[in-house]
Amino acid sequence: MQHLTRSFGNVRAVDDLSLTVATGEVFGFLGHNGAGKTTTVRLLNGVLESDSGQMTVLGLNPQTDGATLRARTGVLTEMPSLDERLTGTENLIYYADLYSIPADRVQQRVNDVLETFGLSDRGSDRVGGYSKGMKQRLALARAFLHSPELIFLDEPTSGLDPIATQEVHDMIRHVSRDEGRTVFLCTHNLIEAQSLCDRVAILEHGRIKVAGAPHELAQQVGTRIRYVLEIAPQQMDAACVALAQMTAVEAVEASASSLTITVTDREVIPDALASLVTAQIRVYAVTQQQVSLEDIYLALHGRKEADS
């Protein structure tokens, strides 16, 4: 998509959005409620028309080829609608017809997705009697029913217990890495995104703030980097004194056998080690702490990082 824009009245929900998603990757679309995630998904599926900009999804124009496109994509919305008067199996059979799955394959495909999402023993029960987690699993089964090439998932683990959540994560990894399908994951669950996504974009008020692989974003945002230095306990005080004299070292935290130092640039580390060696302090190991998406997200929003 290039320079995509969509407004509702005076509110610009999607604002000059440009983005490319590679085939087979899990792409995280991150942002607070109201950031424009759901509107973007509707635009990309041809459910809404854009005010301006260009879109190509699976080689198709969503605005002119919406019906053809939606036959090749799967969508799980944040508030999935299910017919609670029907059974789980009947819900899926209904959507199998909408997706034009051949009649001789419908029952087997329905059985497969019910098994995949742990609903085989409840397929004949009315959805009105399902728990929230079961409804979420049925909605996921519906999204995967027609084996789509591109899957849009909006908060896919909402309402799921830890075991079911892990199963969904495993499914996302499987369809991406083993089957080559593309997953467009909308979420504000930063831990989930960190675990699953090859690349992410952080959205705010319809605009992308940063985009890239999680490990690349720290440099874009300028968030702080932490290194853990393993040092002999008897030399801990001397190490703290040596590092405190370096203006490029923002913070030093000591524990029983290690120091955690905070810097804004990895180029500081060789100088820090040289300072310690000069002070005759023995360093046994240096490990970089992974910068989390939470660190990056909070840095983007001008707030102190969680553990500052």
Find the helix packing angle between 293-300 and 214-221, rounded to 10°: 30
CATH T-level assignment (fold) for domain 224-290:
Alpha-Beta Plaits (3.30.70)
Q: Would you kindly state where each structural domain of the chain is located, as residue ranges?
A: 2-217, 224-290
CA distance 155 to 163: 16
308 residues of the chain, pLDDT tens digit each: 999 999 999 999 999 999 999 999 999 999 888 899 999 999 999 999 999 999 999 999 999 999 999 999 999 988 888 999 999 999 999 999 999 999 999 999 999 999 988 899 999 999 999 998 899 899 999 999 999 999 999 989 887 888 888 888 988 998 899 989 999 999 888 889 989 999 999 998 999 988 998 777 866 766 677 899 999 899 999 999 999 889 889 899 998 889 999 887 788 899 999 999 999 999 999 998 777 788 788 777 655 444 44
State which CATH number among 3.40.50.1240, 3.10.105.10, 3.40.50.300, 3.40.50.2300 fits the domain covering 2-217.
3.40.50.300
**Phi/psi-derived region of residue 91, left when phi > 0, alpha when psi is between -120 and 50, beta in every other case:** alpha
CA distance 270 to 259: 15
Find the helix packing angle between 103-116 and 88-98, rounded to 10°: 130
Query: Where do runs of H (alpha helix) occur along the chain?
Result: 37-44, 66-70, 88-98, 103-116, 132-144, 162-173, 190-196, 214-221, 236-244, 268-278, 293-300
CA distance 220 to 214: 10
Quick: pLDDT tens for 58-105.
Answer: 999 999 999 999 999 999 988 888 999 999 999 999 999 999 999 999
pTM metric for this prediction: 0.78
Percent helix, strand and coil across the chain, each to the nearest 5: 40, 25, 35
Quick: pLDDT tens for 283-306.
Answer: 999 998 777 788 788 777 655 444
